[in-house]
Structure 1
Amino acid sequence: MTNRIPQDILDALTDVEMPRLPPAPQITETLRVSGHTIPIRNCGCVVVGSGAAGLRAAVELARRDGDVTIISQSAWGGTSACSGSDKQTLHTANTSDQGDNFIAMARAIRAGGAMDEDTAYIEATGSTRAMASLQFLGLPLPQDALGGTLRYKTDHDEVGRATSCGPRTSRLMVQVLAREAIRLGIPFFNQTTAVRILTQGDGPARHVVGILAIQPRSQTPDNPLGLVVFRCAALVLAAGGPGELYRDSVFPNGCFGSLGLALEAGLDLVNLTESQFGIGTRREGFPWNLSGTYVQSMPHIYSVDDAGQEHHFLGGYFRTTQEMVSNIFRKGYQWPFHASRMLDFKSSLVDLAIFREGQKGRRVFMDFNRNPLPVPGDQPFSLTRLDEDVSAYLGTAGAVQDQPIDRLRHMNPLAIELYRRYKVDIAADPLEFAVNNQHMNGGIAVDIWGRSTVGGIYAIGEAAGTHGATRPGGAALNAGQVFGTRTAEHIAATGCATSPATHNITDMVTDALDRIAAILKPDSPLPYRQVRDDVQARMSDHAGIICSPDQVSTALKAATALCADIRQNGLAYDRPAEIARALQWQQMALASQAVLAALDHYIRKGGGSRGARAICDTDGDGLPDTRAGSLEEFRFRSERDVDGEQQILVRLTKEGIGISTRPNRVFDDTAKAFFERDWPAWLTKAIYDLPPAPDPSA
């Protein structure tokens, strides 16, 4: 039997239309600086980014009477609105299996290490509030007849805390939050690219005073760069992750994030060694993760060489057809690559095999109209010969149809509909895919309220480095909602954003213009497109799922030399419309150097393989096996427990990229709140750790 869902329901969950933005308010004030006449808007708080996290922060601050403005490079064009997987996950507190056991959930969130324990607990306790508020705004999370939320297992989640509206879950989150932001009248400046954070003061007294952006429609003879200044007392960085760092990426095009922007502003970054990689279709076509039911339907996976010859390459890695097919299935909830799962014929051996086919220059496909071919010499594929966990899942789901496409259609017809919207019919044609970069787990270092190391600057969502080495699938969506709310609460508690800022920022804008002028050099011998190709190739080839100490060290030297070249010669561009892109690629080159510096430090200090990457080492203790023998060239170091107990911090200094470490913040999860004792801290705002008020008698 196959589930029959009416087409209009499938359409509504696939074609998620975003609301039309109202016109941006006109900016009437200008600032005359260094020969430029620059429009300037006064704000209490500026949120950079229009994804689910940024919109949550803006909505929650507006509800608390904050003066907030959103700026976005491309509204509804980021990862929240444009990326996902078969049934994109929102990881929340579980209500069906374990109750709201926040302590257990927090331990699961931080289980991969390199994550602060208090952050994990905050994400756990805040998850029910985040989900309930999204449901209040209209997010159609599925329920059973008694009101319980339908849930399932995802990667790094053995309990089953994942729920979903389908592949467009995060887009639906953006939709309902955007409607609320528009209803609240929050000003929104689209096609506005942040390029420089403006700060004042030194040391602990340093704080944000504004942000400089480029808005092409503002280009005039007096403002040839199209600059716009947003003066503010609080800044929330919510521009997502650095998807453009990698050539092999499932991020939508144009996802630059804010790592370079943050480095130049003097913020600390953390956990830049940690990313997620997994199988998906590339962004040259329709970028999408191939987790969940795409692989749980067990399609035939094969490669094609330049002569058009098909290769059943997975048959050379696994010992039996049952073992091979069962591990293809497990990619559904063990989607990210993990070095330890290359061992003992586990699911990341699939990723390694696909990676190696790519190294041979072969294209890899999955065919939903063919069952997997058998391992040579073994029995053919059969639904009666599967590992127990696989057989139980498919039996409970009722996915016992003869062909993969029918099993997929039964379990998740939306997975087929989604590709059809982008002119790819996986019910008719094989689907090309590869191992791609998908998520940055590191980012800007923040505390329990989302505060960075520079006063007034906050970071949330993928811009914040809160996720640790691994995380349960969907935990990032939850984290963005939880910390978007907490950031807004903290800004409101400070009172700094109740009215537009009016402080003098002329000197800071002048300095920013001087720095921008040093980069934008139309006659430079270094075109920004060359920087793009250089950075992306280096990161994909030397900082992907397979790394070696020598390769990373060599890549860091090249990245450092590239940044020095940019500082000396600037970047060339062809036309005014490319000014923002040139500045973004200068920042991406800096971000690449920072990632490689952190990774090189980690490896040189003896760091082993964990969530993102296998660190290959001839003396390593991890050795992947195949049915044809061991893969000695992929021998790797195992992770050390001590590395999970600390985090690597990165900061830009006058001498270059500075590296330090700090232990994870710990949290006593046996401590209990007591109402009468703890209520005063809430009433007096002591929970927000605000600076002391000035003594009026002094």
Structure 2
Amino acid sequence: MQRYLMNFDTRRMETRQTECLVIGSGVAGLTAACQLARHGHHVLLVVRDTLQDSNTSKAQGGIAAALGMDDNPELHLADTLVAGAGLSNESVSRMVVTEGPQDIRWLAENGAEFDHNADGTLSLGREGCHSRNRIVHSHGDATGAEVARALNAMAAREKNIRTLEGCYVVDLLVHQGRCYGVTALWHGRKICLRAKHTVLATGGLGRLFQHTTNPEGATGSGMAMAARAGAELTDMEFVQFHPTALALKGCPNFLISEAVRGAGAYLLNSEGKRFMPERHPLAELAPRDVVARCIFQEMTRAETSHIWLDARHIEKVTEKFPMIAATCRDYGVDIEKDLIPIAPAAHYMMGGVHTDIWGRTNIEALYACGETACTGLQGANRLASNSLLEGLVFGRRVATIIGKTRLPQAEAGLFWREESLAAEKHAGVLADREAGQQILSRYLGITREAQEMSVGEEKLSQLSASYEGTSADTPAELDLRSALLCGALIFHGAQRRRESRGAHYRSDYPDKDEFLRQHFGDRRKVYDEAERFGEENIAAAVTLGMV
């Protein structure tokens, strides 16, 4: 693995110094920045485009939290563990669902406007795999945009927050297990950003796939730079495909929120018949991995590029989902009268940079939160609307632990240098990125199989080979390099997890716990932590006498 992606020498670079460096402007990054600033810490908030460009601003459904009179955190916990298919960390999950309501109240107290009923209580929606109405939403289906607006307004009011927009972070600067900041490209020039504490909140990697609900910058850059620096990554095989993305030629992959199904919409196959009631007791509100897989099977059976979502019978559907209705109308679909063509699309990464319950990584002074991180909450399949909740909770907790952490003084004169990379120009970067997307979509999609994955892994390796040992000096090539590394990590995890669990479905190992059954027979008492980190840890558990 190539350690650095560009030639640089920190002694000759423009350098900026800060106490806390926060990379990313989604819910997790903005929450961490605002909480740090309010407790007197100086923050440099760095974003690759603008503050408004993030997955958070695109989120429609809402934030899950036990705020209803008939709800409580234990019920929310139970639903989270079911959706996570046995791999969610129970203590982390309990912490998130217990602390989450206070963070939503904090958002509301600081300007976020959520929908309310006529009696003044919060209007709570229902989504897949939730046993209660607990989805807090805003303007019907524009929750993410409202959360982003409120957090951006908070950040703008904080004198302790400086913002650097249009800054592409390239690599982490690590010495003897401690992070001291990053290298970056800003307006075409190389700069060094030094910090006592560095927070990765760079989002997901949906753009590794041809069809995705994610914005352009979701190429896994934070995960890739962490991996190059020696951070531990885990659960990379678990990529969630959202069941219902708008599927029209010439239309971007616009998400049709799960809340539409929560309000009563049906999935119809190419013959116009419902199929989910016979596939799962929760029908259209089954866990996302189940719904996406059933849709994919129906599309494969009928050899079609989409199926249908029927929301015509929902009372006041346009009023309930104004953004979805307007977008569909722009592309000739009236959701009150027409069936909506939909297909699954890459949506969310459950894996990522491994952290503890405070967002700390195995590298000192490096933290991760949001979709970049793997905290243990999401398990093998994220419960709907738990992502904004996780970002709020862990953004705050990262800020809290930074405030309690005392680091030794940095070494005087510490510098980093990489000047051995070939300055080779690659003319086909965009074509190679499309080729990488085709490989991952073809071999790491909703259904996977060992021989097929081996073919895809080899193709991706060949694509990566021409870039090894060369310097990347443009955002386009940096995005490609991040995508190639993250793709390789997904292949590695998907090959080694020889079972089907949550979003990871193996046609050659269709059963849950297949790996354990084949290798250990009845000796399947393996600690949860050993199991969730895959085959290597299971083997280690055997060696240590844990099974």
The normalised TM-score by structure 2 is 0.84
The reply on whether 1:487 has 2:398 as its aligned counterpart is yes
Q: SS of the residue aligned with 2:13?
A: strand
Q: CA deviation at 1:492?
A: 1.1
2:527, 2:330 → 1: CA distance?
A: 42
Q: 1:479 and 1:211, CA in 2 relative to 1: closer, same or farther beyond 3 A?
A: same
Counterpart code for 1:176: A
Partner of 1:376: none
Match of 2:483 among 588, 612, 627: 588
Q: CA deviation at 1:421?
A: 6.8
Match of 1:540 among 414, 422, 441: 441
* 1:533-582 deviation line (CA, Å, top 9, x unaligned): 222111111111111121123322333343333215x478xxx7xx1220
Partner of 1:256: 219
Q: 1:91 and 1:233, CA in 2 relative to 1: closer, same or farther beyond 3 A?
A: same
**Contact 2:20-2:41 within 8 A present in 1 as well:** yes
Q: CA deviation at 1:530?
A: 3.3
**Contact 1:114-1:643 within 8 A present in 2 as well:** no
The reply on whether 1:444 has 2:327 as its aligned counterpart is no
1:267, 1:366 → 2: CA distance?
A: 42
1:642, 1:599 → 2: CA distance?
A: 23
The reply on whether 1:364 has 2:273 as its aligned counterpart is no
The reply on whether 1:530 has 2:475 as its aligned counterpart is no
Q: CA deviation at 1:138?
A: 1.6
1:49, 1:190 → 2: CA distance?
A: 10
**Contact 1:328-1:350 within 8 A present in 2 as well:** no
Partner of 1:645: 528
The reply on whether 1:241 has 2:204 as its aligned counterpart is yes
C-alpha RMSD of matched pairs (Å) = 3.6
1:638, 1:425 → 2: CA distance?
A: 47
Match of 1:167 among 126, 141, 150: 141
1:262, 1:505 → 2: CA distance?
A: 24
1:80, 1:167 → 2: CA distance?
A: 13
* 1:248-275 deviation line (CA, Å, top 9, x unaligned): 2111223123111111111001111112
Q: SS of the residue aligned with 1:187?
A: strand
Q: SS of the residue aligned with 1:545?
A: coil
Q: CA deviation at 1:495?
A: 4.6
**Contact 1:252-1:287 within 8 A present in 2 as well:** no
Partner of 1:80: 56
Counterpart code for 1:448: I
Q: 1:428 and 1:193, CA in 2 relative to 1: closer, same or farther beyond 3 A?
A: farther
1:429, 1:105 → 2: CA distance?
A: 34
2:181, 2:355 → 1: CA distance?
A: 19
Counterpart code for 2:358: W
Q: CA deviation at 1:104?
A: 3.9
Q: CA deviation at 1:96?
A: 1.2
Counterpart code for 2:294: L
Identity fraction in percent: 21
* 1:500-534 deviation line (CA, Å, top 9, x unaligned): x97656631x13xx37x44x521x4x732233122
2:511, 2:238 → 1: CA distance?
A: 21
Partner of 2:130: 157
Partner of 1:71: 46
Partner of 2:63: 90
1:279, 1:637 → 2: CA distance?
A: 29
- Structure whose alpha-carbon radius of gyration is higher: 1
Counterpart code for 1:479: E
Q: 1:663 and 1:273, CA in 2 relative to 1: closer, same or farther beyond 3 A?
A: farther
The reply on whether 1:292 has 2:240 as its aligned counterpart is no
The reply on whether 1:279 has 2:244 as its aligned counterpart is yes
The reply on whether 1:54 has 2:29 as its aligned counterpart is yes
Q: SS of the residue aligned with 2:182?
A: strand
* 1:149-190 deviation line (CA, Å, top 9, x unaligned): 222322222133222112211111111011110100311111
Match of 1:465 among 364, 369, 374: 374
Counterpart code for 1:521: E
**Contact 2:142-2:323 within 8 A present in 1 as well:** no
Q: CA deviation at 1:583?
A: 1.7
Aligned residues: 517
Counterpart code for 2:246: T
* 1:15-48 deviation line (CA, Å, top 9, x unaligned): xxxxxxxxxxxxxxxxx96599532110011111
Q: CA deviation at 1:586?
A: 1.0
Q: 1:355 and 1:503, CA in 2 relative to 1: closer, same or farther beyond 3 A?
A: farther
Q: Aligned runs of 1:413-424 on 2, under 5 Å?
A: 413-420=322-329
Q: 1:143 and 1:427, CA in 2 relative to 1: closer, same or farther beyond 3 A?
A: closer
Q: SS of the residue aligned with 1:128?
A: helix
The reply on whether 1:125 has 2:70 as its aligned counterpart is no
1:266, 1:409 → 2: CA distance?
A: 49
The reply on whether 1:556 has 2:529 as its aligned counterpart is no
**Contact 2:233-2:354 within 8 A present in 1 as well:** yes
Q: 1:293 and 1:474, CA in 2 relative to 1: closer, same or farther beyond 3 A?
A: closer
Q: Aligned runs of 1:562-601 on 2, under 5 Å?
A: 562-568=463-469, 570=470, 579-601=474-496
Q: SS of the residue aligned with 1:155?
A: coil
Q: 1:171 and 1:43, CA in 2 relative to 1: closer, same or farther beyond 3 A?
A: same
**Contact 1:294-1:415 within 8 A present in 2 as well:** no
The reply on whether 1:454 has 2:363 as its aligned counterpart is yes
**Contact 1:209-1:505 within 8 A present in 2 as well:** no
2:429, 2:118 → 1: CA distance?
A: 56
**Contact 1:51-1:238 within 8 A present in 2 as well:** yes
Q: CA deviation at 1:649?
A: 4.8
Q: 1:547 and 1:170, CA in 2 relative to 1: closer, same or farther beyond 3 A?
A: same
Q: CA deviation at 1:280?
A: 0.5
Match of 1:110 among 81, 90, 95: 81
**Contact 1:38-1:229 within 8 A present in 2 as well:** yes
**Contact 2:236-2:351 within 8 A present in 1 as well:** yes
**Contact 2:265-2:314 within 8 A present in 1 as well:** no
Q: CA deviation at 1:237?
A: 0.4
**Contact 2:141-2:322 within 8 A present in 1 as well:** no
Partner of 1:507: 415
The reply on whether 1:521 has 2:424 as its aligned counterpart is yes
* 1:289-316 deviation line (CA, Å, top 9, x unaligned): 22435455647856xxxxxxxxx3455x
2:162, 2:141 → 1: CA distance?
A: 29
Match of 1:333 among 285, 302, 306: 285
Q: CA deviation at 1:238?
A: 0.4
* 1:116-147 deviation line (CA, Å, top 9, x unaligned): 22211220121111111011112122334555
**Contact 1:528-1:571 within 8 A present in 2 as well:** no
1:327, 1:418 → 2: CA distance?
A: 30
2:74, 2:307 → 1: CA distance?
A: 42
Partner of 1:211: 182
1:105, 1:451 → 2: CA distance?
A: 25
Partner of 1:689: none
Counterpart code for 2:238: E
2:428, 2:32 → 1: CA distance?
A: 37
